[in-house]
Amino acid sequence: MEEQALCRKIAHGSQRALEEAIRRYSAYVVTVIHNRSRGCLSPEDEEELASDTFFALWNHAGDIHGGSLRAWLGAVARNATVSRLRSLSPTVPLEEELLPAMASPWEDWEETIRLQALLERLSPEDREIFYRYYDLCQTTAEIAQALQMQPSTVRTRLSRGRELLRNLLCQGGI
């Protein structure tokens, strides 16, 4: 079943469609959570975050227009993991007026959509390198081995890709 059709069915309350999404993407979501947390979370915490990610899908499937369901799930899983890790870090209370205004989850989602559109402008090979480096948190050596290229080539492609994305952002290229 195509991702957009799957989203539509979930948005209309189809539990079977949600089960299909869980079957199809749960390993990916757990991998994103595990790699982002770098082993700082227990397996139970990782499973809870994965459940939260699919719960968010259930609640917001109708809001996913265009783009990739896989990318959306990855972004939600990453953001949830970062939030969980922040909550585990000791903090020093600050005066409320000193705290910067926090972005709403929808602003984070809009930012993710804009970034996804920018990433689509990279070559498929460069997108794979970015995905492995930023989403799966693989080292340049691990990426080089998996893609059968030199680590220096991976670093160069990351650098050039970041430069391209920076230029596109400066030009308002979305």
DSSP 92-145: ----GGGSPPPPPHHHHHHHHHHHHHHHTTS-HHHHHHHIIIIIS---HHHHHH
Q: What is the pLDDT of residue 142?
A: 92
**Which of 25-39, 86-100, 105-119 has maximum average pLDDT?**
25-39
CA dihedral 124, 5, 56, 11 (to 10 degrees): 160
Which of the listed CATH numbers 1.10.10, 3.40.50, 1.20.1440, 1.10.8 matches domain 123-174? 1.10.10
Which pLDDT tens digit goes with each residue over 59-85?
887 777 766 788 888 888 988 888 888
Question: Which tokens is 63 given?
Answer: 């809001």
Q: Give pLDDT, residue 153.
A: 95
Say what the pLDDT of residue 72 is: 86
- Report pTM: 0.53
Ordered by start, the domain boundaries in the chain are 1-87, 123-174
Residue type, 63: D
Q: What is the pLDDT of residues 108-146, one digit of tens each?
A: 677 777 778 888 888 999 989 988 888 888 899 999 999
CATH topology for the 1-87 domain: Rna Polymerase Sigma Factor; Chain: A (1.10.1740)
